Amino acid sequence: MRVTFLGTGTSRGIPVIGCQCDTCTSTNPHNRRMRSSVMIESDSTRVVIDTSVDFRHQMLEHDVRHLEGVVYTHSHADHILGLDDVYPFNIWSGKPLKAWAAPATLAEIKTTFRHLFAETRYPGIPQVELTPIDGPFAVGNLRFEPVEILHGCLPILGFVIGGFGYLTDVSEIPDKSLEKLTGLDVLVLDALRPRPHPTHFSIEQAAEMACRLDAGQTYLIHMSHEVEHAAVSGQLPERVALSYDGLVVEL
């Protein structure tokens, strides 16, 4: 299995419009972050977790010509607003693109993209086939196990795929989910900034959770411009690292 980090930034992206901080003005390419999303590939299946605001650019950047599906963590704007750009995949495949999400997330997607699901459809808009997540499911030969986590007070989903775990936008992991996430080969974990935040792990909290879950390697994601790649990388424990746009991990 191959995991490509399409974007590793927070909802505003890095650089932030108009910002002159050290991270936003940095020439280090690891400080340029599109909105968070990953692509997971096996020999026969390619799936994206979340269609970020930067989805179109991410697909072009990585020369993606087919997708077997999209899986959603939750319905916040930076994680779903690229959905309208899946249309070319309909053209090349000749069929709707399949999407999986929790029922509450599907309801929000139907509201946000009501033009996609109207009885009378305008020509040239995407065809998307929505499937509610109510337990483990498969996309091609990739098996996804949903994991309940909290984004502030909002219940959202993380996912375990084989030895890989993906948790973005998380501030708390319920006890019942910890067992599913312990001892993975690779774990991806939200770490917004050095300072505490009510709906995201801080760098310190994420590092502590990474040590507790004891993955072979943990990569931090969804980072704001308060995280300068080189400076923060030097402060992290062993087997914990910052991800960056374009990072590829083979499992």
- pLDDT grade, residue 49 (50/70/90)? very high
Could you tell me the pTM of the whole model?
A: 0.97
Q: How confident is the model at residue 124 (pLDDT cuts 50, 70, 90)?
A: confident
**Each residue's pLDDT tens digit, 161-186:** 999 999 999 999 999 999 999 999 99
Q: Work out the pLDDT band at 119, boundaries 50, 70, 90.
A: confident
In the block, residue with structure tokens 């599913």: 180
Say if residues 164 and 185 touch (Cβ distance below 8 Å). Answer: yes
CATH topology of domain 2-243: Metallo-beta-lactamase; Chain A (3.60.15)
- Cross-strand partners of 189: 167, 220
Provide the pLDDT for residue 75. 98
- The model's pLDDT over 68-98, given as tens digits with 9 standing for 90+, comes to 999 999 999 999 999 999 999 999 999 999 9
Question: In the predicted model, is pLDDT for residue 133 greater than 90?
Answer: yes
- Enumerate the β-bridge partners of residue 9: 35, 223
Q: Is it true that the peptide bond before 96 is cis, omega within 30 degrees of 0?
A: no
Q: Are 102 and 134 in contact (CB under 8 A)?
A: no
In this predicted structure, what is the pLDDT of residue 168? 95
What does the buried/exposed string (b/e) look like for 15-53 if buried means 16 or more CB atoms within 10 Å of the residue's CB?
A: beeeeeeebbebeeebbbbbbbbbbbbbeebbbbbbbbb
